[in-house]
Amino acid sequence: MAAKKHGDLLKEVMAEFNEAADLLKLDANLRERLSHPRRILIVSCPINMDDGTVRTFEGYRVQYNITRGPAKGGIRFHPEVDLNETIALAALMTWKCAVVNIPYGGAKGGVRVDPTTMSMKEIEHLTRRYTWEISPMIGPEKDIPAPDMNTNERHMAWIMDTFSIIKGYSVAGVVTGKPISIGGSAGRREATGRGVVYNIIEAANELDIDLTKKTAAVQGFGNVGSVAARLLAQTGCKIVAVSDVKGGIYSSKGLDIHDVLDYTAKNTYLEGYKNADVISNDDLLTCDCDILIPAALGGQITKDNAPNIKASMIVEGANGPTTSEADGILNNKGVFIIPDILANAGGVVVSYFEWVQDLQAFFWHEKEINDKLRSIISNAYKSVRSMAKDKKVSNRMAALMLGIGRVAECARIRGLRP
């Protein structure tokens, strides 16, 4: 999704939907059906705070579409969460699951809260109460949440536990991104970064690029960015720059990623790392490199910095890192963009594997998971590229057309009752 300043996201998502629908010559009735979220639940979560007061937080769960299977999408705890943003993100999840052709619809949930101001106990209370409130809507056969901004394995364990208490038995398949000890999947933690790198390998094969002769810069050194940097370095590609919220580091000779990972394991941030030069996040985006991987926040590549970007390939690990204006500038410059709904889909693919394993109560080895992920990403990449060449559109529009086209075809063939 090329987007997005907060507040405009839904407008942007619908504008892109309409552009893709025009190019697909989508039947007007199908367009009408796919323009609306299927179900929305708004909840109030009153929480006993540590100081004895009660505060009430507003939360949402949106199932945008369930035509291809149960709804799937993360739960975000953030002060800027609102209903429109949640609808937009649920729509994007719908197209993303369809691009990688896994049998899910799309959903998103969130609570408008700043968790950084709360204790773990308060956050646990909030997670459990929110789960309780949305429990009529979720379940392994209905809607399967996962981590998103400011939620992680810890929250997923609380959700699984709360939902299981309501049911009276353990329901592992109600969420993904859980700890392995309660039904999580091997390889889930690395899956998004791994999917980013599988996409780059596909592009290198298609475009005849020798990765051992290329350099890359990665913005964001969290889950997605650090795994992408580590695995990309394994291909022989030189990682020249990485950054986090406090700034970045750069070395034209290439960073020793394992040394950097050891450093952040001890010091949390890259700040103070000695074996490289210090650069800002802005400098990282425009530094001398062949491949740029934004893997931090949305809206980082803008009309102001896009003209100065030197990378010839951008692989969107983050959701919506490129504004629409920047997207136009980069397309005119001929930059090869692997859009977020393809580039970062590895996470939801391995979430799907986690859910399948939970339903079967039979768990796979990591190699099997990575091989299956590779095959799904490879097929999705090839389908997007073939759509892009066929219809003479950008990779981003091709991915949207592929995803929206698949959802529309399911809706058409299932028909409309009554």
Residues labelled catalytic: 108
Is position 15 an interface residue for ligand NAD (rule: CB under 6 A)?
A: no
Stretch of residues binding ligand NAD (CB under 6 A), selected from 33-41, 120-128, 213-221, 392-400 = 213-221
Among 13, 30, 276, 296, binds ligand NAD (CB under 6 A): 296
Q: Closest distance between ligand NAD and the C-beta of residue 364, in Å?
A: 19
Site for ligand NAD in 52-111 (CB under 6 A): none
Of the two residues 57 and 221, which places its CB atom closer to ligand NAD in the complex?
A: 221
Q: Which long-range contacts (CB under 8 A, 24 or more apart) does 7-13 make?
A: 7/84, 7/85, 9/84, 9/85, 9/88, 9/89, 9/320, 10/84, 10/85, 10/87, 10/88, 12/88, 12/324, 13/88, 13/91, 13/92
Stretch of residues binding ligand NAD (CB under 6 A), selected from 115-123, 128-136, 215-223, 378-386 = 215-223
Q: What share of the chain is helix, strand, coil (3-state, %, to 5)?
A: 50, 20, 35
Is position 185 an interface residue for ligand NAD (rule: CB under 6 A)?
A: no
Stretch of residues binding ligand NAD (CB under 6 A), selected from 4-12, 255-263, 291-299, 400-408 = 291-299
Among 70, 339, 347, 405, binds ligand NAD (CB under 6 A): 347
Mapped onto helix, strand or coil, the DSSP state of residue 139 is strand
Is position 354 an interface residue for ligand NAD (rule: CB under 6 A)?
A: no
Of the two residues 47 and 344, which places its CB atom closer to ligand NAD in the complex?
A: 344
Is position 224 an interface residue for ligand NAD (rule: CB under 6 A)?
A: yes
Q: Closest distance between ligand NAD and the C-beta of residue 392, in Å?
A: 28
Among 63, 94, 131, 223, binds ligand NAD (CB under 6 A): 223
Output phi, psi for 279, to 5 deg. Answer: -135, 165
Of the two residues 112 and 129, which places its CB atom closer to ligand NAD in the complex?
A: 112
Of the two residues 133 and 177, which places its CB atom closer to ligand NAD in the complex?
A: 177
Is position 179 an interface residue for ligand NAD (rule: CB under 6 A)?
A: no
Of the two residues 303 and 414, which places its CB atom closer to ligand NAD in the complex?
A: 303
**C-alpha separations of 233 from 194, 227, 259, 397 in Å:** 12, 10, 12, 29
**In the sheet where 247-250 sits, what is the strand order?**
277-279, 247-250, 238-244, 215-219, 291-294, 313-315, 336-338
Among 243, 286, 322, 370, binds ligand NAD (CB under 6 A): 243
DSSP for 12-35, please give it: HHHHHHHHHHHHHT--HHHHHHHT
Of the two residues 133 and 148, which places its CB atom closer to ligand NAD in the complex?
A: 148
Is position 245 an interface residue for ligand NAD (rule: CB under 6 A)?
A: yes
Pair 292, 313: CB distance under 8 Å = yes
Among 317, 339, 403, 405, binds ligand NAD (CB under 6 A): 317
CA 303 to chain centre: 23
User: Roughly what angle, to the nearest 10 degrees, separates helices 9-24 and 83-99?
Assistant: 40
Structure tokens at 257: 């990623």
Among 63, 176, 319, 370, binds ligand NAD (CB under 6 A): 319
Query: Alpha helix (H) ranges present in 135-211?
Result: 153-167, 191-207
Among 57, 221, 352, 381, binds ligand NAD (CB under 6 A): 221
- Strands 39-48 and 54-65, bridge-based pairing: antiparallel
Stretch of residues binding ligand NAD (CB under 6 A), selected from 101-109, 119-127, 249-257, 289-297 = 289-297
Stretch of residues binding ligand NAD (CB under 6 A), selected from 81-89, 117-125, 317-325, 403-411 = 317-325
Among 219, 324, 331, 395, binds ligand NAD (CB under 6 A): 219
CA 398 to chain centre: 18
Q: Closest distance between ligand NAD and the C-beta of residue 205, in Å?
A: 23
Pair 170, 191: CB distance under 8 Å = no
Q: Which long-range contacts (CB under 8 A, 24 or more apart) does 206-213 make?
A: 206/385, 207/336, 211/235, 211/236, 211/237, 212/236, 212/237
Among 139, 140, 222, 254, binds ligand NAD (CB under 6 A): 222
Q: Which residues bind ligand NAD (CB under 6 A)?
A: 192, 219-225, 243-245, 281, 295-297, 317-319, 344, 347
